[in-house]
A and B are shown apart, each in its own frame.
Chain A
Amino acid sequence: DGGITQSPKYLFRKEGQNVTLSCEQNLNHDAMYWYRQDPGQGLRLIYYSQIVNDFQKGDIAEGYSVSREKKESFPLTVTSAQKNPTAFYLCASSIGEQGRGYTFGSGTRLTVV
């Protein structure tokens, strides 16, 4: 079955270290997105990509970086410049067709200690 996979489910890192979150999809979707969710909060868009080798900043891109070298993959790096990185991170994908929503991964919970 097609889907979108985020790994790992839980991630612990020491303060000051960069960490990369994986997101892979086999849905042949063109667009991919990264969101951050804090407890009791809504979704905030970090980065998105509509085609390979191209991506745009979302609302809270500072301290994050992404790449889109393959259609299937959109990894997110949380850098040491991100002041408050502990959060739940969600990856999603979609196709450019009216009436179609996003497919979400199951999320990665990052804890920085």
Chain B
Amino acid sequence: GDSVTQMEGPVTLSEEAFLTINCTYTATGYPSLFWYVQYPGEGLQLLLKATKADDKGSNKGFEATYRKETTSFHLEKGSVQVSDSAVYFCALRGGGSNYKLTFGKGTLLTVNP
């Protein structure tokens, strides 16, 4: 079945540091890939997505590229801010009429001033 593996946290960075959160997946067919962000005490918000190989999703300075050859969708940001402190979830939606998303376990990011 489908699965998502993302790097274990927590990740602690200083403000303006470079961020990478690794995400790899296993799926049949051509899945769509997503990154969600969860701020403390809130629900998940869609951060970015990519629906086919080599697509790059981007939002709020975050980027991720759909790499089919390495089955990866790593999240990156060039300069993190304290306000980026949150939990980040990688997810995939399989091909066909499957409604369900498969989530990774989440990575807690803390950015210190």
List chain A positions with a Cβ less than 8 A from chain B. Answer: 6, 30-31, 33, 40-43, 45, 48, 50, 90, 92, 94, 96, 98-107, 109
Q: Enumerate chain A residues within 8 angstroms of B36, measured Cβ to Cβ.
A: 101, 104
The answer to whether A99 and B32 touch (CB under 8 A), given A42-B105, A107-B42, A107-B43, is yes
- Interface status of B89 (Cβ within 8 A of chain A): yes
* B interface residues (Cβ-Cβ under 8 A, vs A): 32, 34, 36, 41-46, 49, 51, 89, 91, 93, 95, 97, 99-101, 103-106, 108
Query: Would you call the interface of chain B mostly helix, strand, loop, or mixed?
Result: strand
Q: Contact between A42 and B89 (Cβ–Cβ < 8 Å)?
A: yes
27 A–B pairs (Cβ distance < 8 Å), ordered by A: A30-B99, A33-B100, A40-B108, A42-B103, A42-B105, A43-B89, A43-B106, A45-B100, A48-B99, A50-B99, A90-B43, A90-B44, A92-B43, A94-B99, A94-B101, A96-B97, A98-B32, A98-B51, A98-B95, A100-B32, A100-B93, A101-B49, A102-B46, A103-B46, A105-B43, A107-B42, A109-B41
Report the separation of the CA atoms of residues A35 and B69 in the bound assembly, to the nearest whole angstrom: 32
- Which of the residues A48, A105, A107 comes within 8 Å of B100, measured between beta carbons? A48
Residue of B nearest to A4 (CB): B43
A106 CA to B38 CA in the complex, in Å? 10
Query: Could you tell me the distance in whole angstroms from the C-beta of B92 to the nearest C-beta in chain A?
Result: 10
A99 CA to B105 CA, complexed, in Å:
21
Q: Would A99 and B103 count as touching, CB distance under 8 A?
A: no
